[in-house]
Amino acid sequence: MKRSEEMTFWEWIYIPEILRGLAITNFHFVRNLFLHTAHLFGFKKDINATSTTQYPDERKRYPDNFRGSHRLTLREDASVRCTACFLCATACPAECIYIEAGEYPDRSVEKFPIRYDIDTLRCIYCGYCVEACPCDAVRMDSGTHPGNLGFGRKEFVETKEVLMKRSEDLAEKGKEGLYEEYVKPYRHV
Ligand code: SF4
Ligand code: SF4
């Protein structure tokens, strides 16, 4: 194997780097083993041991400014605010918003979405849809959590009903209430 000019001889043979990596790994392994054991018996509580989040049994608290969940906002009469103008779907770089527009019997009133789906497996959470909306009908605001959506691909498509329900729940339970609901199925926070 030819040695590149930027590499020293010791880098080229890899062995010192492999040994260095093993030393770091073993240092943390032994340190954590010692500290976790000491914590069990009530010692060294002031020194933190590294711990791994035991996902999915355990979840980390999201930062307060987490905005990883969409919702469709509602009018005062609880109908959907969206007018099915397609601007969000056009702005979406992941092409993950699917809208079917419907018309009210009174043609002077703007349209509404019969269907409004967001495929969260394709979404890159860029927020362009929120910025594109001229009537504040779609939001990704803090305090809303997607939770465990399911185990099949179809369950990760958030429908109009799901997105509207999120707005209803937020109005009813508030951000803290939604968070408590979100963490309830998990043993630890
Ligand atoms: S956040 Fe971005 S990727 Fe996701 S639906 Fe909105 S525009 Fe599309
Ligand atoms: S959410 Fe806003 S941008 Fe998207 S279709 Fe509805 S009104 Fe238009």
Does position 185 have pLDDT exceeding 70, yes or no? Answer: no
- For residue range 136-175, what is the model confidence (pLDDT) as tens digits? 999 998 877 766 777 889 999 999 999 999 999 999 998 8
The pLDDT of residue 21 is 95
The closest of 159, 99, 101, 89 to 128, measured between CA atoms, is: 89
Ligand nearest the Cα of residue 116 is 2
The Å distance, Cα 45 to ligand 1 centre, comes to 44
The pLDDT of residue 96 is 97
Confidence of residue 177 (pLDDT cuts 50, 70, 90): confident
The pLDDT of residue 33 is 94
Ligand nearest the Cα of residue 140 is 1
**pLDDT mean over 71-93:** 96
Which amino acid belongs to residue 13? I
The pLDDT of residue 106 is 82
Alpha carbons within 13 A on the beta-carbon side of 109: 10
Pocket test for ligand 2, best of 72, 74, 88 (most atoms within 8 A of CB): 88
Confidence of residue 189 (pLDDT cuts 50, 70, 90): very low
Contacts 24+ apart (CB under 8 A), 95-100: 95/122, 96/120, 96/121, 96/122, 96/123, 97/129
- For residue range 11-65, what is the model confidence (pLDDT) as tens digits? 888 899 999 999 999 999 999 999 999 999 999 988 888 777 777 777 777 777 8
Do residues 96 and 122 make contact, with C-beta atoms less than 8 angstroms apart? yes
And the tokens for 167? 């707005």
Atom of ligand 1 nearest to the CA of 124: 3
The Å distance, Cα 129 to ligand 2 centre, comes to 8
Q: What is this structure's pTM?
A: 0.73
Do residues 47 and 34 make contact, with C-beta atoms less than 8 angstroms apart? no
